[in-house]
């Protein structure tokens, strides 16, 4: 059985019935091919829109998905008048080849090399390298006369170019070198290799005897060298040397003459690491971290070709597997190096998030007190393998991201609509003051009141929107203020749906809509069921609003899919009786919210999205009979898409009313389903917070949200921490439109004022 990249349920069984089958080339090829393909697909799937080339909001659409796929795939342009290459590429074995990793039949696998093969049609180095590659596949890995011929021609052409900087620097030369030195598929696919670093004389690498001072162990590894295999120690010395060369001031990663040697050194390192005995998950994590660190020291084209995301994924799994190993308790700084390296070089999305979780869960235990600042962290990383040139930028970016996620305590503020915006839905200075008051304790997480996504999505008076530029600008003053106070601010976004207030809807020309023509209560207006076309438009509006929120400086976005608003009205069968693809079954009812999660994820990255759900709430005519299967489906979809957190409302409240009957329902089903951070809200009091976090859900990453008490206590976090009495809230001012009373005048405690200079 080969599980390929067995990350989720994304693997394929390839049955092996007898020992002889294990040697069956077809089966092995099938396994390798599947693994390489899956891995590549995941890389694409998890890559964030930011990776796609800079600006936020761009969607990652690999060109190859839209490019017409010819019979020869991306090699079409190369073929020119080479009948031999045409014949090789038409060969079944070549078309299916898993090694090298480029499969002719699989354009997705191929995209990193697209530019090379598109621009240089008949380059002899490249052409012969490609011929060699596929001749290899056709002969099943036997180097015959024909292979040697291609190799000689390719190498001859490469050598000639080394005399001129311009031709040595050209993409086809680099591409040819890379094809010849494609030793890495074994690491990615976990298969046995047909090529390794000793196969070609030209690719063999030996230590330079004149540079012996570089071939030493970094101090961190020196201290624990007795724990490692001797061969591994030698590899670590080679990586150290690679890093020293990379960091030489005159060294340029663009110079292929230097890079050829460096890449060969890396190939040798990689190849030897693969051969090390796999004694434990902990050791394997160390090997993979070493592999990743060496990969990132090579030239750019190579870095892409080895697909570090695959290595970082494998590393992640080994870290998770070895999480309880005492080895990490004894060597936390090594774990810091490995986790930061893995996180910095992993693609955005699920893998990235899982690294964040590893760092966060260790933050208050194994890593406690080891580093406070970036400087402290760098000091630790320097003890192992560290390259200013190759690692610094990514590491700094990752550090910022992690810091941002390190909310300093577990008391947060949930969405609280207060209607203090302007009549045309712009945030006001009064709101800035209100959020500023509530962000006086650094490290607090604040979620804003629900923000309207588009002109037609409203129906609440003076609720702020996030579809126009003036709205974005006004929110920006608030996010700046909260950030200046050292806190985090998430923008909750929603479509009011059938809960729209009729007067407001009429005044603003909003048509009251929902999933079906079912009102939310007696006397409420009957909404019109949305058409499929309108649904698609709203999905788009959510994505635009999310992009606007990020432009306005918000740290993340929360989709309000609870309390009976539009998204919730599609999820539950009490409000959704549609018979098209958006109703009638669990899957169909989840479709709208899934599409929104996906579109918003494409727009700003799933790691910046949370979702609020109220599976048990009866507020605004909700509460289906069997919420568990339905909401489990939604949560599983959120999980698949890699959302950052879920925010759940306890069954003991209906919005902001405490229920006075016995509560038998529980959120446990949802909490158990979700592996990442969970925000809980509804009826929490200072005296039940600690118990919830420490006793009820000890293994979970829980944050407790206080609604009404945050309304009435600007210094709530301080009060809870210091066991102080709370101000009581005044319900009559909850929604007092544009009124500062009951909004800005709840007092801070005298203790807080004495402690600070508010
Ligand atoms: C005045 C007020 C406004 C609210 N507005 C929102 C909102 O905009 N979005 C939301 O998701 N929940 C909203 N809620 C619900 C709260 O976020 C929270 O779930 C509820 O108050 C229960 O928590 P608590 O018992 O701590 O008050 C609101 C609650 C109140 C009291």
Check if 46 is active-site: no
Mean local confidence (pLDDT), 289-312: 72
Mean local confidence (pLDDT), 220-227: 94
Whole-number average pLDDT of the chain = 80
Helix (H), strand (E) counts: the chain: 34, 13
Which residue stretches of 485-531 are H helix? 502-508
Tell me the β-bridge partners of 705.
412, 681
Answer yes or no: are the C-beta atoms of 356 and 343 closer than 8 Å. yes
pLDDT at 257 over 60: no
pLDDT of residue 105: 47
State residue 676 phi and psi, 5-degree precision: -100, -160
Mean local confidence (pLDDT), 346-373: 80
Mutation probe of ligand 1 site: the residue of 499, 611, 707, 743 with most atoms within 8 A of C-beta: 707
**May I ask the CATH class of domain 408-755?**
alpha beta
pLDDT of residue 723: 93
Q: What is the DSSP letter of 170?
A: S
How long a stretch of residues is the chain?
A: 758
Which candidate in 5, 150, 291, 565 is catalytic?
Answer: 565
Counting from 1 in the atom list of ligand 1, the atom nearest the Cα of 734 is 1
Mean local confidence (pLDDT), 75-87: 72
Answer yes or no: are the C-beta atoms of 486 and 442 closer than 8 Å. yes
How far apart are the C-alpha atoms of 615 and 564, rounded to whole Å? 10
How far apart are the C-alpha atoms of 437 and 435, rounded to whole Å? 5
- Cα 468 to the chain's mean position, in Å? 28
Mean local confidence (pLDDT), 439-445: 88
Q: Which of 33, 45, 59 is nearest to 8 (CA)?
A: 45
Mean local confidence (pLDDT), 204-219: 80
What are the start-end ranges of the E strands in 360-444?
411-412
Answer yes or no: are the C-beta atoms of 72 and 89 closer than 8 Å. yes
**Cα angle at 613 between 612 and 619, to 5 degrees?**
115
User: What percentage of the chain exceeds 90 in pLDDT?
Assistant: 51
Mean local confidence (pLDDT), 637-642: 94
Q: What is the DSSP letter of 207?
A: -
pLDDT of residue 2: 29
180-202 burial code (b ≥16 CB/10 A, e <16): bbbbbbbbbbbbebbbbbebbeb
pLDDT at 516 over 70: yes
pLDDT at 323 over 50: yes
Over the stretch 572-625, which tens digit does the pLDDT of each residue have? Answer: 999 999 999 999 999 999 999 999 999 999 999 887 899 999 999 999 999 999
pLDDT of residue 76: 63
The pLDDT confidence band at residue 211, using thresholds 50, 70 and 90, is confident
pLDDT of residue 246: 79
Helix axes 350-363, 308-321, angle to 10 degrees: 40
What are the start-end ranges of the E strands in 545-652?
556-560, 609-613, 645-649
The pLDDT confidence band at residue 175, using thresholds 50, 70 and 90, is low
pLDDT of residue 399: 86
Distance 655 CA to ligand 1 centre (A): 6
Identify which has the larger pLDDT, 263 or 479. 479
Q: Which two tokens stand for residue 188?
A: 């990615």
Lowest mean per-residue pLDDT among 27-31, 64-68, 138-142, 663-667: 64-68
pLDDT of residue 484: 82
The pLDDT confidence band at residue 180, using thresholds 50, 70 and 90, is low
Answer yes or no: are the C-beta atoms of 434 and 740 closer than 8 Å. no
Mutation probe of ligand 1 site: the residue of 411, 412, 413, 417 with most atoms within 8 A of C-beta: 417
Distance 662 CA to ligand 1 centre (A): 21
Identify which has the larger pLDDT, 295 or 70. 295
Mean local confidence (pLDDT), 46-53: 30
- Cα 35 to the chain's mean position, in Å? 21
The pLDDT confidence band at residue 354, using thresholds 50, 70 and 90, is confident
Answer yes or no: are the C-beta atoms of 99 and 35 closer than 8 Å. no
pLDDT of residue 439: 94
Answer yes or no: are the C-beta atoms of 615 and 648 closer than 8 Å. yes
Identify which has the larger pLDDT, 246 or 45. 246
Identify which has the larger pLDDT, 711 or 242. 711
pLDDT at 93 over 80: no
Identify which has the larger pLDDT, 439 or 258. 439
How far apart are the C-alpha atoms of 519 and 499, rounded to whole Å? 8
| Dihedral, CA of residue 432, residue 438, residue 441 and residue 447, to nearest 10 | -90
Distance 413 CA to ligand 1 centre (A): 9
Mutation probe of ligand 1 site: the residue of 656, 659, 710, 717 with most atoms within 8 A of C-beta: 656
Distance 708 CA to ligand 1 centre (A): 7
- Pocket around ligand 1 at a 6 A CB cut-off: 414-417, 449-450, 492, 560, 562-563, 612, 649, 653, 655-656, 681-684, 706-708, 734
Counting from 1 in the atom list of ligand 1, the atom nearest the Cα of 649 is 19
């Amino acid at each position: 059985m080969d599980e390929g990249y067995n990350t989720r349920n994304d693997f394929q069984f390839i049955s092996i019935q007898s020992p002889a089958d294990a040697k069956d080339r077809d089966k092995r090829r099938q396994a390798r091919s599947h693994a390489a393909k899956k891995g590549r697909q995941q890389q694409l799937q998890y890559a964030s829109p930011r990776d796609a080339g800079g600006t936020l909001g761009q969607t990652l659409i690999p060109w190859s998905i839209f490019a017409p796929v010819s019979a020869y795939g991306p090699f079409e342009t190369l073929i020119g008048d080479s009948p031999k290459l045409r014949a090789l590429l038409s060969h079944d074995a070549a078309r299916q080849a898993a090694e090298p990793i480029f499969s002719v039949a699989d354009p997705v696998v191929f995209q990193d090399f697209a530019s090379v093969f598109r621009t240089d049609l008949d380059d002899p180095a490249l052409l012969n390298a490609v011929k060699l590659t596929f001749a290899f596949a056709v002969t099943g890995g036997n180097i015959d006369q024909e292979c040697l011929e291609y190799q000689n021609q390719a190498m001859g052409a490469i050598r000639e170019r080394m005399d001129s900087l311009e031709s040595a620097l050209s993409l086809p030369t680099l591409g040819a070198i890379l094809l010849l030195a494609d030793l890495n598929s074994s690491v990615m696919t976990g298969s046995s290799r047909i090529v390794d670093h000793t196969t070609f004389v030209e690719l063999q690498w030996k230590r330079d005897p004149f540079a012996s001072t570089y071939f030493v162990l970094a101090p961190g590894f020196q201290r624990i060298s007795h724990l490692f295999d001797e061969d591994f120690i030698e590899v670590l010395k080679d990586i150290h040397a690679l890093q020293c060369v990379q960091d030489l001031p005159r060294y340029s990663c663009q110079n292929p003459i230097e890079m050829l040697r460096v890449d060969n050194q890396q190939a040798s390192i990689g190849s030897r690491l693969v051969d090390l005995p796999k004694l434990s998950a902990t050791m394997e994590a160390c090997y993979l971290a070493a592999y990743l660190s060496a990969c990132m020291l090579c030239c750019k084209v190579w870095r892409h070709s080895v697909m570090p995301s695959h290595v970082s994924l494998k590393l992640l799994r080994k870290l998770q597997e070895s999480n309880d190993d005492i080895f990490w308790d004894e060597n936390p700084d090594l774990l810091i190096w490995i986790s930061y390296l893995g996180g910095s070089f992993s693609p955005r999305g699920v893998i990235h998030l899982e690294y964040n979780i590893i760092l966060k869960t260790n933050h208050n235990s194994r890593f406690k007190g080891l580093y406070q600042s970036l400087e402290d962290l760098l000091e630790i990383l320097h003890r192992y393998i560290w390259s200013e040139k190759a690692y610094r930028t990514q590491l700094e970016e990752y550090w910022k991201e992690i810091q941002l996620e390190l909310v300093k305590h577990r008391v947060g503020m949930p969405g609280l609509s207060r209607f203090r915006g302007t009549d045309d839905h712009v945030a006001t200075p009064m709101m800035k003051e209100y959020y500023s008051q509530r962000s006086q304790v650094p490290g607090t997480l604040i979620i804003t009141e629900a923000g309207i996504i588009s002109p037609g999505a409203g129906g609440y008076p003076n609720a702020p929107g996030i579809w126009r530029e003036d709205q974005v600008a006004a929110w920006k003053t608030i996010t700046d203020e909260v950030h200046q106070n050292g806190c985090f601010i998430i923008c909750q976004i929603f479509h009011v749906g059938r809960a729209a207030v009729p007067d407001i809807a009429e005044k603003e020309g909003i048509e009251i809509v929902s999933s079906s023509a079912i009102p939310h209560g007696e006397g409420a207006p009957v909404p019109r069921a949305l058409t499929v076309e309108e649904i698609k438009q709203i999905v788009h509006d959510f994505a635009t609003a999310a992009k606007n929120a990020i432009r306005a400086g918000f740290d993340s976005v929360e989709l309000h899919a609870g309390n009976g608003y539009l998204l919730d009205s599609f999820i539950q069968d009490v409000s959704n009786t549609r018979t098209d693809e958006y109703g009638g079954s669990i899957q169909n009812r989840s479709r709208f919210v899934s599409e929104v999660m996906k579109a918003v994820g494409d727009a700003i990255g799933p790691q910046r999205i949370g979702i609020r759900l109220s599976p048990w709430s009866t507020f605004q005519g909700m509460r289906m009979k069997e919420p568990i299967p339905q909401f489990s489906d939604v949560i599983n979809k959120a999980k698949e898409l890699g959302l950052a957190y879920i925010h759940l409302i306890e069954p003991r409240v209906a919005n902001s009313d405490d229920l006075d009957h016995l509560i038998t329902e529980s959120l446990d089903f949802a909490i158990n389903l979700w592996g990442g951070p969970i925000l809980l809200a509804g009826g929490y009091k200072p005296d039940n917070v600690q118990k919830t976090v420490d006793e009820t859900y000890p293994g979970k990453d829980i944050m407790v949200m206080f609604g009404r008490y945050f309304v009435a206590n600007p210094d709530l976090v301080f009060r809870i921490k210091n066991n102080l009495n709370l101000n009581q809230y005044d319900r009559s001012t909850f929604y007092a439109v544009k009124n500062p009373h009951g909004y800005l005048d709840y007092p801070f405690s005298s203790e807080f004022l004495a402690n600070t200079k508010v």
